[in-house]
Amino acid sequence: MQALQFKAYGGPDVLAVGEAPEPHAGKGQVRIAVRAASVNPIDWKIRAGLLSDGVELEEPVIPGVDGAGVVDEVGDGVGTVLIGDEVFGLGSATSAEYAVLDHVGPKPASMSWEDAAALPVAVETAARTLDLLGVDSGNTVLVEGAAGGVGSAAVQLAVARGATVIGTGNETNHDYIRGLGAIPTTYGAGLAERVAALAPDGVDAALDTPGKGSVPALIEIVGEPSQVVSIADFSAPERGARATSGAEERATYALAAVAGLFEQGAFVVNVQQVFPLADGAQAHRLSEGGHVRGKLVLTVDE
């Protein structure tokens, strides 16, 4: 098969499309003929060697941890997915013509492949953090980085739970954040004062998605450090807050749940830009630069 891959750690230019062996579904897994895969920050962090602990690569690596496509292999123990089903989900090495997924949800017929590929990581991460924070009806939650992939998913899922949401973002994204159902405000200095004016009765929980040093301010706003969770600042526990990487139990139930919300018109997907697989380096470069609204997606020809 053809796959986007890298043979050495480095910048986006180490990525190239080339031949790779086809994967096959194991127990509890399905294989898909990939139609689209998203680019997440974890992809370029791995490619750049930031998670390598100094160990050199022994074989080429195919990036990608989520995608969407048509099931063409079903492993033992999978009872609810059939060959020919259109699905989206979480797996590995998804930036390729074929990929194995561990957790899937049904792709609504009205949902594009690009939108479906943009959902899995963002939705699972958002649902997991909201679960950790115990966000429910009547709560007020602050989402730092509300215009990003995880942030926009967290806003919509929290609103669906009945929470009041305040979302931070650049002023150019405020209309977008407002459209998701959140009250927008800017990030940075003075955040505590701005949030206090918007939520005079206080904030119950806060989610940090960018990981750019706002955890102390979020703790000040919430008042209880454990009610602040970061998905990108792993020094948060040093201050009494929490960090989550997905190593704990994952909220895979959210895949099917968000498909239902989408069909009800209660969840929108924002794909900022779509690239063919051959232009994967450009997508990685844009993701690494930050300031992405929504998601970046790679498409694979049928």
- The domain that contains 200 carries what CATH number? 3.40.50.720
Based on the domain organization, do 173 and 280 belong to the same domain? no
- The domain that contains 58 carries what CATH number? 3.90.180.10
In a domain, 201, yes or no: yes
In a domain, 231, yes or no: yes
Based on the domain organization, do 112 and 132 belong to the same domain? no
Instruction: Judge whether residue 290 has pLDDT over 80.
Output: no
Least confident of 51-65, 222-236, 288-302: 288-302
Based on the domain organization, do 194 and 276 belong to the same domain? no
Read off the pLDDT of each residue in 69-83 and give the average, rounded to a whole number: 95
DSSP symbols for 216-282: HHHHHHHS-GGGEEESS-TTGGGGT-EE--S-S---THHHHHHHHHHHTT-----EEEEEEGGGHHH
| Contact yes or no for 16/284 (Cβ under 8 A) | no
The pLDDT of residue 283 is 95
In a domain, 195, yes or no: yes
Based on the domain organization, do 114 and 150 belong to the same domain? no
Based on the domain organization, do 130 and 55 belong to the same domain? no
Rounded to the nearest 10°, the torsion over CA 42, 207, 290, 62 is: 10
The pLDDT of residue 246 is 80
pLDDT in tens, 89-135: 999 999 999 999 999 999 999 999 999 999 999 999 999 999 999 99
Among 109, 99, 28, residue whose Cα is nearest residue 68: 99
How confident is residue 84, by pLDDT bands cut at 50, 70 and 90?
A: very high
In a domain, 287, yes or no: yes
pLDDT in tens, 226-282: 999 999 999 999 999 999 988 778 999 999 999 999 999 999 998 989 999 999 999
Residue 64 structural domain: 2-119+269-299
Read off the pLDDT of each residue in 5-14 and give the average, rounded to a whole number: 96
The pairing of beta strand 164-168 with beta strand 140-144: parallel
User: What percent of the chain is modeled with pLDDT above 70?
Assistant: 100
Instruction: Judge whether residue 293 has pLDDT over 80.
Output: no
In a domain, 41, yes or no: yes
Based on the domain organization, do 183 and 273 belong to the same domain? no
Based on the domain organization, do 92 and 131 belong to the same domain? no
The pLDDT of residue 245 is 87
The total number of structural domains that make up the chain: 2
Q: Which of 243, 261, 279 is a domain's end point? A: 243
In a domain, 263, yes or no: no
User: Helix 253-263 vs helix 149-160: angle between axes, to the nearest 10 degrees?
Assistant: 70
Specify the pTM: 0.92
